[in-house]
Amino acid sequence: MRNRIYNTVMVALLIVIVGIGFKDAGIFVTNYTVKEEEKAIETFKDGEEVELIKENKDTYQINKNGSSYLIPKNVMIRTTRGTNEYESLSDTKVYSEASNDSEVIDTIKKGTIVTLNKTNNNFGFFTYSDGKKSGYIEFDSLKRIEKQNISYGYAKADKVVQRDGKYLALIKNESVPIVGYEEGKYKVSDKKGNVFIVGKSLIDLYKTSEETSRGSSRSVSENVTSVITKAYSLIGKPYVYAAAGPNSFDCSGLTYHIYKNELNILLPRSSRNQASAGIKINKSELRPGDLVFFNTVGSNISHVGLYIGEGNMIHASSGKGRVRIDTILSGWYSSRYVTARRIIK
């Protein structure tokens, strides 16, 4: 199929869409050139916003300067999705027919929400007052209500991102909700509506709509996010031998407390026994939320921490007397590293 569409019906449809304000929007996340028979016919720049006409399985149909193009889904995201709801811009007349010359059957107040049922030139047939009333209203007196669209990509790596004291765990190959794009970076969201800024190197866009379907069960990312967020909130709490919270901890008491309170997972109480929980993983496979174990006294496992990514862990340190962040890639803990276990599968 050719990228550029010359169908006169489609051109007419574009005119209608522009005329009544049915405009959805998208934004390119990379430079992209539309070609026809190997010849470049249009170029779009990274960050360029466009009018979106239709979303297909594998492509978006967009409009630029009156011409229509089919764009693959992995080079742009949809940013807004229009609804069939409108808001009156002022006190507005409701007509019996699609004409200013017809009978005025009602006047709605400014800010009234009406629902479009069908269009007729510059008028729409709307229902309002919970569907109890209806009539024709001019589009010029209304504003279409748009909702922020959520696109989906997938994480290319395991990483914890943070913004304004909030945390989000990206888990490799898991779905990531994308709510925007700005200055070469994605805006991604958690289920609570917190927005995080993520570089393009960490996200790939889905190529088809079928790949965006997600189950309703709680994801690994959500579970890891809960654990990591809790761990960060406990930094600075004092180390007390045999304590398991909520105000003081020893090393295994910290991990026990986090998993019990966030995910209702009961770990063994000692670091040595926690090293038998979950599944064993190699150091090169570590991801946020994993437990990391150390030999700090000369024999056997005697210390545990919670891995948070970037080679760091949060742990209750007896030597420093508090919950803190330390690296496991160099220095004292690197030389005493023994093993790691994954609890969140």
Q: Which residue has the higher pLDDT, 252 or 13?
A: 252
Distance CA 238, CA 308 (A): 20
Query: What would the pLDDT profile of 265-278 be if each residue is shown by its tens digit?
Result: 999 999 999 999 99
Provide the pLDDT confidence category of residue 82 given band limits of 50, 70 and 90: confident
Q: 256 pLDDT exceeds 70?
A: yes
Query: What would the pLDDT profile of 141-152 be if each residue is shown by its tens digit?
Result: 999 887 878 888
Distance CA 325, CA 233 (A): 12
Query: What would the pLDDT profile of 83-130 be if each residue is shown by its tens digit?
Result: 889 999 999 999 999 999 999 999 999 999 999 999 999 999 999 999
Provide the pLDDT confidence category of residue 36 given band limits of 50, 70 and 90: confident
Q: How large is the C-alpha radius of gyration of the chain?
A: 28
Domains recognised in the chain with CATH numbers: 4-79 (2.30.30.40), 151-217 (2.30.30.40), 225-342 (3.90.1720.10)
Query: What would the pLDDT profile of 183-237 be if each residue is shown by its tens digit?
Result: 999 999 998 899 999 999 999 987 555 444 444 456 899 999 999 999 999 999 9
| Nearest Cα to Cα of residue 70 among 6, 146, 154 | 6
Q: Are strands 133-138 and 123-128 parallel, antiparallel or unpaired?
A: antiparallel
- Residues above pLDDT 70, as percent of the chain: 90
pLDDT of residue 49: 94
Provide the pLDDT confidence category of residue 22 given band limits of 50, 70 and 90: low
Tell me which residue has tokens 């803190």: 324
Q: 14 pLDDT exceeds 80?
A: no
pLDDT of residue 207: 58
Distance CA 273, CA 174 (A): 30
pLDDT of residue 114: 96
- Residues above pLDDT 90, as percent of the chain: 77
pLDDT of residue 144: 86
Q: Which of 4-8, 191-195, 331-335 bottoms out in mean pLDDT, i.e. has the lowest?
A: 4-8
333, 325 in Cβ contact below 8 A? no
Q: 280 pLDDT exceeds 70?
A: yes
Distance CA 306, CA 317 (A): 12
